[in-house]
Each structure stands twice: as C-alpha cells, then as structure tokens.
Structure 1
Amino acid sequence: MLSSVYKVSIIIPTYKTDPQGLSRLLQSLDAQTLSADEFEIIFVDDGSPDNTFERLQSEKAKRSNVSVTRIENSGWPSKPRNIGIKMAKGEYVLFMDHDDELYPDALRAGYEFAVRNNADALSGKESRTDDPAWAIGVYREDEPQAIGREGAHPLMPMNPHKLYRRKFVLKHKITFPEGRMVFWEDIFFNIQVARYAKVISRMASVPFYHWVTTEGSGTSLFDNQTEYYWEMLRKVCDFANENLSDPALIQQREQILRHQYRVRVLGPFNANFHQKSIESRKLIFSHAQCIRRDFEFERFDETLSVSQALRAWAVGEGRRDLVERLSQEDVAIAGWQTADTLAWSNGVLEISSSAQWSSAHGRTLSLRSEGNRVIKDLSPELEQELPAEQLDMTRDLAEVDCIFAVRSRDGLVTWEAPAEWTTSFDENQPSSVMLAGYTKARIDPATAAFGKPLETDHWDLQAKISIGNGSAHRNVRSAFPGSVSYVNGQLHLVYTTDGGTVALVPRGQQEAIRQLTPIRAGYDSDGLVQLDLDGTHDGDGEVTCTLGLDTSTSAKKNTFTGHPAILRISDGKASLHFRKTGPVMRVRIGDHAGRRPPFWTLFVAEDRVGLNVGQLPKIRTTAEYEHEEQAG
C-alpha cells in the first residue's frame, strides 16, 4: 500500500476553476524538468456545478500521468486534499491551488533536496503575484535542517505548497480538518507536521512555487469582524498548545503562537481600525483582549516593536479608546530608497542609495530626543495615558533593516542582493530627530540568482525597509540615464523606467537600443552610419543587434523592420553602427527612454549625417513621394 510509483504526487482540489488559471497550472507542470513519468497529477473536483470536471477529463486524455475524480461538494479544499492523499502513489505529496504554477525546475530540485536531506517536509522558495516581499526574509539560504533555527517557523509561510513525505503523512494520520468552511486548515495540517517531523528542509536556491493572485482569486471570507474568525483563531492557538507541548517542540510552538499574536491578534489595530463601525471595533477588541489573556501572550510583548507593544499594553489594560487613538496617531510609515549613484564596474552594477520615510499623504516619522534616547513623538494628551518607557524607540531604530533585491517582471521571482545598510540621526529642530538611511549594494547579473545568472528579463531593483512594525517593499527610485556594461562577452543594461525607478536587463542588447538615446550622428572609419548614445558605459567590445528601420512610404504611419547593427562599447562610451539605405532613414532608437520620440530621422549625405527628431507626417525622399503617387 505504501510503495511509491512516482517521486512526487501533486494534489489539486478544483472548484469552478477558471479556464485560464487551469491552463497556466498545466503549462507549468508540462514544463517541469522532472520527467512526466516521475510525477503524477491528481485532480479532485469538489462538485463543481459548471464544466470544470469535463475540462479536467479532457486534459487527462492528453496526459498519461493525470488522474481525475469528483466528489460531492464539501465546501472547502480540505476533503479533496485528504482524498488526494489516499489516492497518491508518490514518495512525496505536494498540494497546489487550482490556478497557481510551479517554476520549471521545482519538482526535480525540490525532490532531490528533500531526499538528500531525508526531509519529512520541504519548504521551497515561494513567490506571490501581488507581494514582492512575500517570504523574502525566509528563503535566504538552503537549510537541510530548519528545525531549531531562530526566527520564523520552518514551515513558514504556513500554506501547504510544500513537499511532504507521503509515508510520514500516512503513518501519523495527518489530515486537513474537514467542513464547509474551516479557516486556516493549512495551519492545522502543518502543526501536525511540526509535531512529528524530524527533518524540515528549506530550499532557497531554486524558485519553487508561484502563488498566483488575480482579481477574484482566493477568498474574502477571512473577516476579523466576525465571531467565526476569532473562534477559529482560538482553535488554532489551542491546537498548537495541544500538539506542540513536548519540551523538544516548545520553540516551534512559540514561533507559531508569536506569529498569530503579532499578525492576527494585534494586526487588526492598524490605521484602518478607527474607521470601522463601533460594533466591529468592540468585537475585535474584546476578542483580542480575551485571546491575549487566555493564552498568556503578554510573554511575547518584549519582542514586539514599540508600536505593537503600545497596542498590546492598551489591550491588556482594557483601553479600547487608547487603541483607537493609536490607530490614528501612530501610523506605520514606509521607507523609500532613491539611487544617489548608479554605475557599472567591470560587469557589476554598483548602487548607493538613501532612504526617506513618508506616507502617501505626506506623513513622516515623528521622533524626538530626550537625552541619549530617541522617543516616539505622539500628542501630549495621548502620551500622558501611556507608560513613558514604552515610547523609547532606541531599540527599534537600532534594528532598522534594509533588504536590497531584484524582482523579475515575467517570473516574479525575487533574489536578495548583497548590501550594506547604515542609519544616522539628525536633529533638524530642537528636540526633533530626522532618521536617515543609506545603502550600498552590488548586483552581478552573472551570479545574482543565488550564485547563478539572472534570466534574460526585466528585473526591477527593489528595497524592503523595516522599522518597528512598518515595512514596505518598493522599487528604487532613479533619475539616471540608461547605461550598459560589456564584460566577458555579455552585455547588460540598466535604465530608469517611465515611472522613475531602476530596472536591469541581463543580456539586454535589444532593449538597450530602445532605452539609450542618440545624441549625435556621423560616419565611422568603415563608412557605416554611427550614432553616439547618451550615458556612461562599462567594458570594451561589441555585440550584434537589430534596430527598427521604417520601410513604409506612407507619410502618416511607420512600418519598422529589422536592420542589422552593431552596438559598440569603448572608453566609457557606446555607439550604434549600421549601413545606410538611402538619403533619409527613419530609425527606432531610444523610444522606450521616457519622453523620447518614437523614431529619429537621419539625413544621410556623402560627408555628414544629420540627426533629427522623428515626426508625423514624415519627411520623405523623392522616391517615396513618387511611390505613393503611383500607388494612389
């Protein structure tokens, strides 16, 4: 019964599955580097009232490793997953949502890493469509054994998008709690895994799972303004206490409970709390107060940021009025990074940047100095109600952190980059403190993907700045012109987007033509047209590429076709070289670089080349006029 026919069984509950989502999921599974005869796909349809089951049957007919079954509607993914576990024949099982996707090397790399480390469970590097910072601090290194590590629990993020050894799951009768609506069923499952697992591995070096979020995807049922939400949160905490009571499991229990306390008990007291109805505010506060008391969560208060600790104290004192005041006055302010320098050096992009803290409404960090301490600056009326020692920001400011990263626009994978972060404090007014942050980062396209080259894609440079309970992961701002580096036969491009942020394109010679602006024209020593390009560049060499040449004879439209060219880099300069085709050439260069013309018009004489902004109606040659007359 427990023999393994496959390396991995992928279990996918479905219900009214969007055709586009199903297609995306299957395409990612078809693209796996692990051979299709080494993994199976198990669809368990939860009684969809539409044609989902028929579409699954159609897809099954195209693949030998797919099985499909249908059950009476259960209302939640738990029962389909449990049925899938019983059907599975793989050494490991993986649970996927019906519209997500795996990265191409996920199954091969994940399975080999798990087997090599004898893992009962493996958490692979996960990304999320709508959250570039998703789990960025979790997947920092490959960890053969993550149990016993400080920080986040080894199974965080605590969803089931992981590899679990099937024999281990069956031996310990680990299942998802069933019912028509069971909040956090994945946490209940993973707590059982944590109870019995001897080895939990974490794989950061290979992208594993993409949690796709689109309009209408996911559920909106997780509403903390309902009694059921708090009933289920209490059950999660009880379940953690019951299953992780062994002394050897205390650390894991505390990791899980501390997360629930920070995110779900205190999390609702954010900037939106005071805007909720009075009934909702009373309900949330009452439940938070009871859970904090009943589970003795005050033991975690010393690990909280100042803002969270103030709220926790007010909850413990039964002061909903203070929590509401704090949600208005003590608002989390996110940080922005702006590039101060941006330059290539021997194929490595070097960035120095500075941080500022401001909200969309112009609010900034409110700090003041008292002796050698930095204090959170609130209104005098509110401060009088709070313990003075709770306002001390010294520790929070000492722990301000910045993570520098690149994120691909196509695959939505985020890789951290080496960076040095420093902070300073300036008293810009008597007793008023201004916080400043500075980063120096290096990005080598040849090694930035966990020691491997970045894929050819547009990569946005991003920074996640955390201070207290305020954290934001945003693109790095820039006003620098585009530039390229040519080292070891590779040309890489960095440029400023239309939105004023930094982007990187490894092996980006084609995009370089669209991003670099021509500043002068002439002939080179070989008689080719030469366009000198703006910016300061790195390296020495040349690459072949293609520029767009307008071949339309119409005065009111362009038709660009490929024209061979050479992009040459030398002595900090870049230039484009190509043969002339006539006395007037209309070429598409630099049209992606901000507010630049869609094309340039070149007047090509025997002894010179004139560079002019392109415009419609076009300046045309006599031959083009005659061609239009004959065609008309």
Structure 2
Amino acid sequence: MGVKVSVVVSTCDAGPASNAMDACVRSVLEQSLPADRYEVIFADDGSSDGTRERLDAVAATCENVRVLHLDHSGGPARGRNVALSLVRGDYVYFMNQHDRLEHSALQNMYGMAVRAGADVLVGRLVGEGTPLSAFTGSRERADVIRDRLLALPTAHKLFRVGFLAENQIRFPDRPLAEEAFVTHAYLAAAVISIHAGQICCRVAAPREDPREDPAALVGGLRTILDIVEAYTPPGQRRDRIQAHWFRVLGLRRLGGARFEAMGENRRAALFTRLRDLAAERLPARLDAYLPVHLRARAALLRAGRQEELARLVAASRGTRLYAELQEVHWDQSVLTMDLAVEIVDAGGTPLRFHAENGRLHWRPPVPIEGLLAPEMADVTEAARRARMEVYVRDAESGVVYFLPVTSTVQHARDGDGVRVWAAGQARLDIGSAALGRPLRPGLWEVHVRMRGVHPARTRVARAEAPMNCAGVLADYPRRLVVPCWSGRGELSVCIEPRSFSESIALVSPRASVTHSDDDVYVVMPVPYVPPSGGPAVELVLRQLGGRGRGMTVPALVEPGVPGRVPGQLVAKVPVRRLGGEGCLGPGAWRPGLRTEGKDVDLRFTLEVGLRGHVRVRPADARSTPSLLRRIAARIPGYAALS
C-alpha cells in the first residue's frame, strides 16, 4: 500500500544516555500504524556526543528508519528541508528529539486527514504553555482566526507533502523559521482540520536563546509579514493576523525576563529595529486588535520613547489575574464553582479605570504624558465583551479541557475609579468533560482565564471562607470525586482516590484540634463515608527530629451527607508537657493514617508547645524547634508558649 506518513525528527546532541530521547524513539517506532505504512527520518544536525551512532543502530534494525548525517547548522530548519526532499509519505509530521507521539497518533491523524481532504491537520498537543483553545473540539474545516490556530505556531502537525511542494513551502534559514513555515501553510491551505479527540503528541518545552540577535529576529518577523501580505488581501483579516504576530513576536519581547537579560545595548537594538519595522510595515490601525496594555507599548515604540516604555513595563510587572472562589457545591454529580475574577497589580490591588460620559478608559500604572489617544485608551467595548473561561488540567499528562461557563461583567465605583470584574459559574461534569467522554482518574487542576481588557490566566487559590469538601459518587461511570486543595493551596479535583485514607489526606489541610484536659482531639473532614462505614482507621504520629518517637491512636469516622456535608474523623490524642511514651510532647509531629496496614501521609503538621498547646501547621512547617528556641520558650511572654 506504500508509505502514508513520514515522521521527521530533528536531533542534535541529545546526550549519550538521554531518557527523553529514548522515549521519543520508542514512541515513533511503536505506532499502531503498520510499519510498512510509515517511515521515520532522523535529521541529525551535526551531533558529536554519540547521538548519531545510537540512531544508526536503530536504523540498522528497522527498515522504516533513516538517519540523515548533516553538518551542524545550529537549528532544525536545514535538516527539515533536506528531509522534505526525501520523504516518501503522502503526509509528513515534524517533531523534536524530546517529544513523544501517542501510540495511535499517526493512524488517527492520517485517517481524519484523508477523510477531510486536509492540507494541514492539527492534532491535539500536550505540553507547557498556555491552554490551547483550538482543541475545544474536532473540526474538519477549521479557520485560522476563529479557531485561534495562530496560537499553535510549531510544526507539530500533519502536512500533505504534495501541498507543500505545490506552494513551495519550506523552512527559511533564519530565526522564526518554524512560525514562518506554519503561517505559510495555514494561509495557503484549502482545508485545515483539527483532531482534538485524543492526545497526539507530548511536546517538550522549547529552549529559549537569551542571545537572540535583534537584527535576525526582526528579519524573521519581516519574512512572516511578507507571507501574510502575499496570501491575504488588504482588510480586517490581514490586519488581525499581522497584529497577532506584532503582539507575540514583537511587543511581548519588549518586556519580561528575557528582555531584561539582554543587556542595555541589545535592548536598545531590539527597540530600534522594531520601531523601524512598525513604521514601515505595521500601521497604527493594527493597535485596535491589541489588548490595551500592549497598545500602550506600541504607542511608545512608535514614538521612540524607550525610557518611558521601560518605566511602563517595570510598573506593570506583577499584574495578574486574581480568581476568588465564592462557593463550591454539587448539583447531583456535577461540581459547580461560583467564581469572580479580576485583574490586580503586584500588590493585589484591583485595577481601576477612568469613567467619563458612560465610557471606561484605561489608566496606566505610571503617569506618562500623551501615552494613548482617548479612543485607544477606551476599553468600554472590551470590558463589555470580557468573559471568564475555566478549564481543568490533568496534573500528570497536562491535557486540558474547557468547562461550560456562564458569566457576566460587573462594574463598581472604587474611589476615583471603576473596578471591572467577571463573575460566573463553571460546571464540571466528570462523565462528559473530556469532549463528551469521562475524565480519566487522577488529580485535575482548576484554572481560570479572562479575556477582554487585559487577558490573563491563573489557578484558583485557597479561599478564606471554608470550602465544602464533600465528595460524591459521580455517575457514568460511578466513581468517587473529591474537590481539594493542592500542596500549594490551589483548587483541584481528584477522581477516584487510590484509597479511603488518601481521600481523607486530600482534604487534610482543613484539620483542626480541640483541647480537653490532658488530651487533644484531632478532627479532619472525610469527603465520603461508604454505607459500610469504611475500613478501621488509626492516626499515626511520628516526631520530627529528636528521638523520632511515634505513637498510634484509634480514630472514629462519622458519616456526613454525600455531596452536601463531609463526614468527620476524630482521634483522641494524649498530650503531656514533658512527653513520654504513648503521648505527644513538645516538638513537631508528622501525622498519617493507617488502614489495613498501609500508611498515608497527611498534609499538615502538629506542633506542640512547651505548655502542651497543640497547633495545626501547613505540611511544610515540619522543623523541630532549635535548642535556643526551646530555651527562649521558657521566658515568660514568649509567643511559642501559647
């Protein structure tokens, strides 16, 4: 039947024993597509550490593997172009040496590409970076702008080889070669498809070069603008695509850690070259498609006001999205989360806007004369369109699924300004959140993103108000689901905890203690108590430091109301000022739960003062008081004596 797909893997000095490289090789060789229907070409860019020899050994035993021995060029572009001239497949897929294909990736992508007649097929990616809105669902006919495909600029896609040849699409030999290649393919393609149903490739985070040459970088951006102008007529579509690349490859580089690491001379060179490019190729009308804080950067760039731009960037550092969890409750087996999100500065103060004649205008964090014309500072429509997006991310695989959300934009007077925030409700249906299928077991992080005035994203942090951590048995299939806080105090949802004890450990940061005579009662919520009452549970306490003493006490588990009121675990623990066998004494104690002979650590520490008072501390507060502190603790009035 012939070769259907060619996989081109760029390699260079992967290391003599690189586990990531080995995983990549295994992933491309163990595809569900029959070996005679696909080939793998390793394009090695002058490796000198044994990578070539390792790949040659693979090729010697696999008929569908070839290795290209290339002179070192410093990047993957040349190797990919050479491989393109040699591929035998109808489609080609590009990846790097630390990426991994899923077992059925080629079969799934090729099947959909043939059905849709796609020139380009975008398979679901998983990796570091922003959530990918393009994968909210599969589409046989996708649109570059509507489906936000420009946010997927890497070459991890299936390209029809004949289509690339017909349009002479190759990787240019300059910076931003990948972005240029993908932009060219997007705009020349008659059909672009999205395969979102299954993960296709796990992408390793790219290594950034802090020594980027400003002239070469801006030259690469010029190449991309040439492609956009060649394939899109003048009008809104062209303007939006140009504005995207101006924002991502230009304005964003004028701030942040990478910009600061450049050094003064290179920062000035980048500023000057971007200013010249903007004057020649990027008219001011494009700024209307930018978020307002980047409009301000663009205005200062066009005016050549580098020092004021630096002040603006410095004053804006730390601006972020704050997400407040107002309530969590279950609607049968659907977890509902009431949220409010707002942009705040580095100190946590909400951003305020200037209101005049029914319009809202952005106020820069530092006064800069003549920064923006009134119409460019006007964010009234952006605020009206602002919306909240909520998604869950698998902590293990990184896969993301967006949740249905209803939200509204709200305004309120605050001193001499107006605050703007979005409030709404997200619904997590465990049985259908994965594009109509159940979520896999494991820990799922809850993330929030806000679009509109100042796009940003964040995790939902620990709320001040108590959270209902009652679990529920979700239907289809029937599995225990527990809302909980991660070790960093961020909201997560655990599907199918591995044991009864682990379900309690997930919510154990909400533990409390109650004193009674010479005893202390340790109380913890229990997300779900089965009708049988669950297995017998013991509280295990181990002293940190010192002699490392330990003790075990029985615990009583009381049922709650599934999905509404959590159960409760109570353990009575003797406490003595001088310690001793079978009781807590001064110091820090690490608790755990023991069921059926197996121990699970809890996420807090008990700290016992010299007067026998017990406190619950976060899990990282595990150090035993030093000798000097214990001596100081004997002084009247010392705080630790509470």
The verdict on a shared fold, with TM-score over 0.5 as the criterion, is yes
**Whole-angstrom CA distance in 2 between matches of 1:157 and 1:321:** 33
> Which residue of structure 2 lines up, in the alignment, with residue 594 of structure 1?
603
Counterpart selection for 1:486 from 469, 473, 479: 473
1:66-85 aligned at under 5 Å gives the runs: 66-85=65-84
> Which residue of structure 2 lines up, in the alignment, with residue 226 of structure 1?
214
Which stretch has the larger CA shift, 157-166 or 345-354? 345-354
SS of match in other structure, 1:139: helix
Q: Structure 1 residues 276 and 400, CA, compared in 2 at 3 Å: closer, same or farther?
A: farther
> Is 1:261 paired with 2:246?
yes
SS of match in other structure, 2:451: strand
**Whole-angstrom CA distance in 2 between matches of 1:51 and 1:335:** 46
Q: Structure 1 residues 187 and 250, CA, compared in 2 at 3 Å: closer, same or farther?
A: farther
Q: Structure 1 residues 276 and 299, CA, compared in 2 at 3 Å: closer, same or farther?
A: same
Counterpart selection for 2:434 from 449, 453, 467: 449
> Which residue of structure 1 lines up, in the alignment, with residue 190 of structure 2?
198
> Which residue of structure 1 lines up, in the alignment, with residue 137 of structure 2?
141
The aligned length equals 559
Counterpart selection for 1:14 from 1, 6, 11: 11
Q: Structure 1 residues 573 and 237, CA, compared in 2 at 3 Å: closer, same or farther?
A: closer
**Whole-angstrom CA distance in 1 between matches of 2:162 and 2:47:** 30
> Which residue of structure 2 lines up, in the alignment, with residue 619 of structure 1?
none
Counterpart selection for 1:189 from 146, 169, 181: 181
Q: Structure 1 residues 557 and 251, CA, compared in 2 at 3 Å: closer, same or farther?
A: farther
> Is 1:158 paired with 2:149?
no
| Alignment check: 8 A CA contact 2:334 2:428 kept | yes
Deviation string 1:240-261 (CA, Å, 9 cap, x unpaired) is 33x315x4x9776545422221
Which stretch has the larger CA shift, 301-310 or 454-463? 301-310
SS of match in other structure, 1:263: helix
| Alignment check: 8 A CA contact 2:338 2:424 kept | yes
> Which residue of structure 2 lines up, in the alignment, with residue 621 of structure 1?
none
Superposition deviation, residue 16 in structure 1: 0.1
Give TM-score, length-normalised by structure 1.
0.77
SS of match in other structure, 2:368: helix
> Which residue of structure 1 lines up, in the alignment, with residue 95 of structure 2?
96
Counterpart selection for 1:471 from 453, 456, 461: 456
Counterpart selection for 1:433 from 403, 407, 418: 418
> Which residue of structure 2 lines up, in the alignment, with residue 626 of structure 1?
none
Deviation string 1:196-238 (CA, Å, 9 cap, x unpaired) is 421111222322222212xxx5241563x62222222223322
2:413 is matched by which residue type in structure 1?
E
Counterpart selection for 2:503 from 504, 507, 512: 512
Superposition deviation, residue 330 in structure 1: 5.2
1:207 is matched by which residue type in structure 2?
I
| Alignment check: 8 A CA contact 1:483 1:516 kept | no
Superposition deviation, residue 302 in structure 1: 2.1
Q: Structure 1 residues 151 and 573, CA, compared in 2 at 3 Å: closer, same or farther?
A: closer
Q: Structure 1 residues 188 and 386, CA, compared in 2 at 3 Å: closer, same or farther?
A: closer
Superposition deviation, residue 52 in structure 1: 0.4
> Which residue of structure 1 lines up, in the alignment, with residue 54 of structure 2?
55
> Which residue of structure 2 lines up, in the alignment, with residue 523 of structure 1?
none
> Which residue of structure 2 lines up, in the alignment, with residue 298 of structure 1?
284
Superposition deviation, residue 419 in structure 1: 1.0
Superposition deviation, residue 281 in structure 1: 4.6
Superposition deviation, residue 545 in structure 1: 8.4
1:600-619 aligned at under 5 Å gives the runs: none
2:111 is matched by which residue type in structure 1?
E
> Which residue of structure 2 lines up, in the alignment, with residue 115 of structure 1?
114
Gaps of 5+ in 1: 521-530, 578-583, 599-615, 617-632
Superposition deviation, residue 192 in structure 1: 3.6
SS of match in other structure, 1:534: strand
> Which residue of structure 1 lines up, in the alignment, with residue 352 of structure 2?
366
Superposition deviation, residue 541 in structure 1: 6.1
**Whole-angstrom CA distance in 2 between matches of 1:49 and 1:390:** 53
Superposition deviation, residue 53 in structure 1: 1.2
Counterpart selection for 2:525 from 534, 547, 559: 534
Superposition deviation, residue 405 in structure 1: 0.5
1:462 is matched by which residue type in structure 2?
H
Q: Structure 1 residues 532 and 348, CA, compared in 2 at 3 Å: closer, same or farther?
A: farther
| Alignment check: 8 A CA contact 1:15 1:45 kept | yes
1:326-475 aligned at under 5 Å gives the runs: 326-329=312-315, 333-378=319-364, 382-383=368-369, 386-429=372-415, 431-475=416-460
Deviation string 1:291-329 (CA, Å, 9 cap, x unpaired) is 112114323122222222233333334444543443344
| Alignment check: 8 A CA contact 1:29 1:102 kept | yes
| Alignment check: 8 A CA contact 2:99 2:202 kept | yes
Superposition deviation, residue 30 in structure 1: 5.2
**Whole-angstrom CA distance in 1 between matches of 2:61 and 2:537:** 42
Superposition deviation, residue 27 in structure 1: 4.0
Which stretch has the larger CA shift, 113-122 or 461-470? 461-470
**Whole-angstrom CA distance in 1 between matches of 2:210 and 2:312:** 27
Q: Structure 1 residues 70 and 423, CA, compared in 2 at 3 Å: closer, same or farther?
A: same
Superposition deviation, residue 447 in structure 1: 0.9
SS of match in other structure, 1:377: coil
> Which residue of structure 1 lines up, in the alignment, with residue 169 of structure 2?
174
Q: Structure 1 residues 39 and 372, CA, compared in 2 at 3 Å: closer, same or farther?
A: same
SS of match in other structure, 1:455: coil
**Whole-angstrom CA distance in 1 between matches of 2:347 and 2:511:** 39
**Whole-angstrom CA distance in 2 between matches of 1:37 and 1:543:** 57
**Whole-angstrom CA distance in 2 between matches of 1:23 and 1:545:** 43
Identity of aligned pairs, percent?
22
**Whole-angstrom CA distance in 2 between matches of 1:547 and 1:454:** 30
SS of match in other structure, 2:252: coil
SS of match in other structure, 1:90: coil
